[in-house]
Amino acid sequence: MFKRFVPDQYVPSIFEISVSELKERGIKGIITDLDNTLVEWDRPDATEELIAWFKDVKAQGIDIVVVSNNTEKRVRHFSDPHELTFIHSAKKPMTRAFKTACNIMNIEKHEAVVVGDQLLTDILGGNRGGFHTILVVPVAQTDGVITRFNRRMERLVFQWMKRKGLIEWEKDKKTNQ
Average pLDDT (8-17) is: 94
Side chain identity at 7, as an amino acid letter?
A: P
Quick one: which of 5, 43, 143, 105 has its CA closest to 32?
A: 105
Binned at pLDDT 50, 70 and 90, residue 177 comes out as: very low
**Confidence at 166, pLDDT banded by 50, 70, 90:** low
Judged by average pLDDT, the poorest of 52-66, 85-99, 130-144 is 130-144
Structural domains for the chain? 2-164 (3.40.50.1000)
Condensed to tens digits (0 to 9), the pLDDT of residues 82-131 reads 999 999 999 999 999 999 999 999 999 999 999 999 888 999 999 999 99
Look at residues 158, 174, 156 and name the one whose alpha carbon lies nearest to residue 166: 158
**Rounded average pLDDT over 27-49:** 94
Closest by CA position to 66, among listed 105, 101, 117: 101
